[in-house]
Structure 1
């Protein structure tokens, strides 16, 4: 039963993720991403993915704080370190459980990257980590949308690189 409920909640989060693609204002995108992370975090909780819950909660917090302060290196490091400490305190130290935290740490570090090609590569790499994690906790809906998002980003990256040559 938890498998169905968790995947149904992930479907709601995935629909929000798709809807984000239609938004134009940064503030709307950030708030919608908070809603997406709420659903994905809840889905992870139902499916037993503790580090998925941690990273989604920190993403919501990061996004809301980004309205108030600029994310300089010291703030990024604080966010990254606290997530890692929580993973260890909650005994989530198996490599599969560390993937969401590693993914979110990398994304947090590069979130203000100015080079669009580098940023696309970061998005693809971090999504691959989420794909492996989502599949391991049987979040099949999220895995499906991870694959689609990896494919669309890879396609766009190839197009960007062709234009740069």
Structure 2
């Protein structure tokens, strides 16, 4: 066991990615506790999700209607409880549109769960490739999971 938790944090995040790309929502919830926060930097801290149910709802809003969703090339850097993953995500819609979206994900691990997860990506790249009806889903879906964590992170 590493004294600083680097190996454990990295292994947890690797298991997390596998659950996310499999869209195993039940398993995915186990990586968070009620105080965990997830947000996309391009959309800001005012549209964050907190806790396993909120994080799942936020992810499902964007991912449930995809025909395909997988992880491309990646590089992982870990130090203590912080894991940074530079990667690609491949998004495919049933109507044929496809986007390769470069990401940097930063996850802070505490007590065996992801306490803070921030994703850095380009909103323009995603919206330019996504079908309009999917974009409408984002604004008309259930947004009850939104919490404003401005000042907390």
Tell me, yes or no, whether TM beats 0.5.
no
Structure with the bigger percentage of helix: 1
TM-score (norm 2): 0.31
Structure with the bigger percentage of strand: 2
TM-score (norm 1): 0.29
